[in-house]
Structure 1
Amino acid sequence: MSVSGPQQGGERLPGERLDAFMGRANAAYYAQRDPFADFVTAPEISQIFGEVLGAWCAVVMRSLPIAPGSPVHLVEAGPGRGTLMADMLRVLVRLAPDCLAGLSVYLIETSPRLREAQGRALAQCGVSVCWHDTLSDVPAGPMILVANEFLDALPIRQFVRTATGWQERFVQDGQWRLLDCSDVPPDVTERGATVGDVVEISPASAGFVRDVAERLCRAPGVALFIDYGTATSCVGESLQALRQGRPVSALVEAGTADVTAHVDFASMARAAQRAGAVCYGPVGQGELLRALGAVQRAEALCRSAPEQAGAIRSGLDRLIGPDRMGRLFKALAVASPDVTIVPGFSEKTAGEQQ
């Protein structure tokens, strides 16, 4: 690995700061490889996931404080193979055709390979689809945004509390390198870390959520983030990597593995609230899907296809089981201040919006 990184005292630092390495590694990985050979996401496990989220979108769209038929953007960040969007649109076409008036679909995706897969999945959806590299490229206006397993792949920074102060992790030749750090962000120092503890933050994730929240304060809408992570800000490291479905060192050659970290949903909520939006959750994925009727949908599918009942119930259990994805994966909704209906969430998030 070449020497790179920020400067300190006029000298270039050895290695790359972790967030720079992670960003470069994942950009190369998604550009060159099929990520679904290494991991399976909820939409690929069961159609129920996308179907209940499609119904969620319909309820939210109908409740937005806009005139019927007004333009609405349905946006997905990190749309994978396009399976989730295809399932959501199928529900909207079948059960909520009124929501299609004025609806435009935008996918935030940088990988040409994945754009091709998404195009194939959505070729028959009956709705125009546009691709953009960034959220800022999506036209202004009322918006429903869904991001499933998107934030976990955005870069993180790691800080280590030592007996003499804070150090930050850099990567050099596949190994960690610790460098003294004097400008430690408050979000790190306020977590009560003791000597030896690692604290992770993700300015990239918080920045994306903040940008979404700022848009929602300019035009009505709701964003739904679903990912694996923690409900509170805490200490500890969660960086991991998968290659061919198996765990490997997160410091392997850039582009050969999918590198992710747990999402700090409390930090995401704070970022949204500081931008003026209202937050709901986080709640467990299992709790959300149950509230949205996933169990009832599974039983309906079992009745219509009894020969597939075992697979249908098994897929649902993976999604909502507390020992599977139901508890580890969480959902956070970010809404415009004038939006009053957010299905699946019973309470606003406590904190800065109070």
Structure 2
Amino acid sequence: MLRHLTSKIKATGPITVAEYMREVLTNPVTGYYVRNNMLGPDGDFITSPEISQIFGELIGVWILSEWMGAGQPKQLQLVELGPGKGSLASDVLRVFSQLRSVLGEASVSLHLVEVSPALSRIQAQTLTGNQSQEADTEDELVYRRGETAAGLPVNWYRRLDDVPAGFSIVLAHEFFDALPVHKFQRTPKGWREVLVDIDPEKPEQLRFVAAPAPTLASSTLVQAGERRSHVEVCAEGGVIIQQLARRITEDGGAALIADYGHNGTKTDTFRGFKGHQLHDVLSSPGSADLTADVDFSYLRRMRTFLRNMGIDSRMQVLLRNCSDASTRKQLISSYDVLTNPAKMGERFHFFSLLHPSRLEIPKRPEGLKLEKNPTPAPLPVAGFTELKFS
């Protein structure tokens, strides 16, 4: 990967951070996500579904709630973007199985958007056992098909656009933080985009530099009135939000985004993880995960969301039914990780997209006084200088 990147930079000049992330993570030959199984205790990081089954169970309850609120359509497509090991989808489907009487005759199917062949095989094993097979040719939209033990169809796609139209609940758990970001630095001459270049004194190393003049990205992506001195913008994430909004408006459904993020307050969050430890983002590209906190505006804190969905009650049920001391200790530990403000409780956020019909204020029952919620504000949608970030 380093040879590939240095050859690219020598040929065309410094590249954007977004292009660097895209190459390092999803290059079809040497990309980190394409060729690695990076999840779990033996990988580079661990996600919420691997911490506790409660996480996925409560997401399943939320999905059923939204499906019922939409009038219980006869078709329910569960779509997950970047499904990891398939743990979240597995926990959600377990809830569906336990509440099958609620779903009635509804037709349920699972659609996974995954760019990594290595991860798709792990997901298939988790969700279908040996009941999946790859497509005969690479140009097929569905590159893998399978079936769960309960008979639910599972399809794999490379892009969200390839998922068929229809009422869908879309999950994006720790997906947006891996999308490429553009980085911008305020300078005395105005906003300049941060680029990745070869260090002239150490040709085998990369460094950050500031573009000598405005770029198209720095001229269009930085919001007017921005007060921070350093900004990260995920243009690709904005495109996906527009895609989701269009699908929900046209076909019904909802989307739930769960990720590490902030409300437009942080500056430099671009970082790498290797072996569950922070790793220099420019060192040994392709050997570590790269991530940047998602810049949300209106979101709900994880602790509030999970407690509203009943995490405390579910935790008590699991503890009552568990007699093994070590398992009880693990349950309590995982609960603490998910809800403790010093851990994920205040750093992990939920952001939902709903159909306009779900946002209408219900009619006031006779004799009951309701206060109308305020309308939310719209969502914010050759002389290089070396840059160093703490």
- Correspondence for 2:194 among 166, 169, 172: 169
1:1-354 equivalence runs, <5 A: 1-2=5-6, 4=8, 13-27=12-26, 28-36=31-39, 37-65=43-71, 67=73, 70-99=74-103, 101-123=106-128, 124-126=148-150, 127-173=152-198, 174-179=206-211, 180-183=213-216, 184-193=218-227, 197-230=229-262, 232-234=263-265, 236-266=267-297, 281-307=298-324, 308-340=327-359, 350-352=376-378
Deviation at 1:81, TM superposition (A): 0.2
Q: Which runs of 5 or more structure 1 residues have no equivalent in the other structure?
A: 6-10, 267-280
Contact 1:157 1:202 in 2 (8 A): yes
Residue 55 of structure 1 deviates from its aligned partner by 1.1
**One-letter amino acid matched to 1:252:** S
Q: 1:137-163: per-residue Cα shift (whole Å, max 9, x none)? A: 000011101111000000000011111
Describe the superposition over 1:67-119 as per-residue Cα deviations: whole angstroms up to 9, x where unpaired. Answer: 4xx22211000100000000000011112444272111100001111111111
In the TM superposition, what is the alpha-carbon distance from 1:225 to its structure 2 partner?
0.1
Q: Are the equivalent residues in 2 in contact too, given 1:241–1:258 (CA < 8 A)?
A: yes
Contact 1:3-1:15 within 8 A present in 2 as well = no
The residue identity in structure 2 corresponding to 1:193 is R
The one-letter code of the counterpart of 1:242 is F
Counterpart position of 2:388: none
In 2, the alpha carbon distance for the partners of 1:338 and 1:178 equals 46
Letter in 1 for 2:127: L
* Contact 2:261 2:294 survives alignment (8 Å): yes
Q: CA deviation at 1:17?
A: 0.9
TM-score using structure 1 length: 0.86
Give the Cα–Cα distance (whole angstroms) in 1 for the partners of residues 236 and 331 of structure 2.
36
Report the TM-score when normalising by structure 2. Answer: 0.79
Change in Cα spacing, 1:252 to 1:302, as seen in structure 2 (3 Å) is: same
Aligned residues: 325
The aligned amino acid for 2:45 is F
Q: Is the CA contact (8 Å cut-off) linking 1:3 and 1:16 kept in structure 2?
A: no
Letter in 2 for 1:299: Q
The amino acid of 1:130's aligned partner reads N
Which aligned segments of 4 or more residues in structure 1 are displaced greater than 6 angstroms?
346-349
1:269 aligns to what?
Answer: none
Task: Tell me the SS of whatever aligns to 2:278.
Answer: strand
CA deviation vs aligned residue, 1:38-76 (integer Å, no higher than 9, x gap): 111000000000011111111111221464xx2221100
Query: Given that residues 228 and 329 in structure 1 are in contact (C-alpha distance below 8 angstroms), is that contact kept between their aligned partners in structure 2?
Result: yes
Cα shift at 1:350: 1.3
Q: 1:265 to 1:291 in 2, by over 3 A?
A: same
| Distance (whole Å) between structure 2 residues aligned to residue 84 and residue 17 of structure 1 | 33
Tell me which residue corresponds to 1:8.
none
Specify the code of the residue in structure 2 equivalent to 1:289. Answer: L
DSSP 3-state at the match of 1:159: strand
2:328, 2:358 → 1: CA distance?
Answer: 38
- Write the deviation string for residues 210-233 of structure 1: whole angstroms up to 9, x where unpaired: 111111110111100000010x22
Pairwise CA RMSD = 2.2
CA change 1:209–1:254 in 2 (3 A) is same
Q: What residue identity is the alignment partner of 1:190?
A: A
* Unmatched tracts of structure 2, length 5 or more: 129-147, 199-205, 361-371, 380-390
Identity of aligned residues (%): 30
